[in-house]
Amino acid sequence: MRRNLLIPRRAPRRTGPAPLSSRALLVVSQTSAAPSPDAVARAVEAAHGGPVTVMTVLLIHGSGLGVPHPGLLPTAQEREKGRTAIAAAIAAVEARSVPARGEIAVTRSQARAIARTARTVSADTVILDLPEAHGLRRLIEGDLAVQLRRRLRGDALVVPSVQ
């Protein structure tokens, strides 16, 4: 006799309002007080009058036995810096009369989270307004722009901001 096992479905991960369909995704650093004017100009230009999605990524710095350890999750101070960076970027984009929506992703992999968001909002262009990694850090962590180009495989143009 065969028994049917019910496997519970995983709840959807995304919460909040449905994402805006956006032609431009502006990724800002959580440590910056405001996005660079060059990055904002590129995002507004790439949006062609449509909305811009602004995001920042808060990193989980590891796990203990496969479960995120509370000491390795972003702190309240890091979350507040992320909210401040998103608010400043949204204000800069909306100052140019373009609608914007902000998003904060908490993940272990920056490239994976950015690529997922770019696909979700159907972004044609991803503008990275992040500090460029040099030397040993770039060797260990890799180049985010290269990782994104590989993950998106031509679905979106990845543009690092000129610092």
| Domain membership of residue 58 as a residue range | 24-63+70-160
pLDDT at 61: 77
Residues 100 and 102: their CA atoms lie apart, in Å, by 7
Q: How far apart are CA 150 and CA 141, in angstroms?
A: 15
For residue 107, list its beta bridge partners: 59
Q: Which residue has the higher pLDDT, 3 or 161?
A: 161
Most confidently modeled range among 30-34, 76-80, 140-144: 76-80
Confidence category of residue 144, pLDDT binned at 50, 70, 90: confident
Question: Is residue 138 in a domain?
Answer: yes
The C-alpha atoms of residue 76 and residue 106 are separated, in whole angstroms, by 12
- pLDDT band, residue 96 (cuts 50/70/90): very high
Alpha-carbon gap, residue 91 to 88, rounded angstroms: 5
Number of domains within the chain: 1
CB 86 within 8 A of CB 29: no
Q: What is the CATH number of the domain that holds 115?
A: 3.40.50.620
Tell me: pLDDT of 153 over 70. yes
Q: Which two tokens stand for residue 3?
A: 């028994």
Tell me whether residue 46 is in a domain: yes
Query: Over the stretch 7-44, which tens digit does the pLDDT of each residue have?
Result: 555 555 655 666 667 788 888 887 777 888 888 998 99
In a domain? residue 15: no
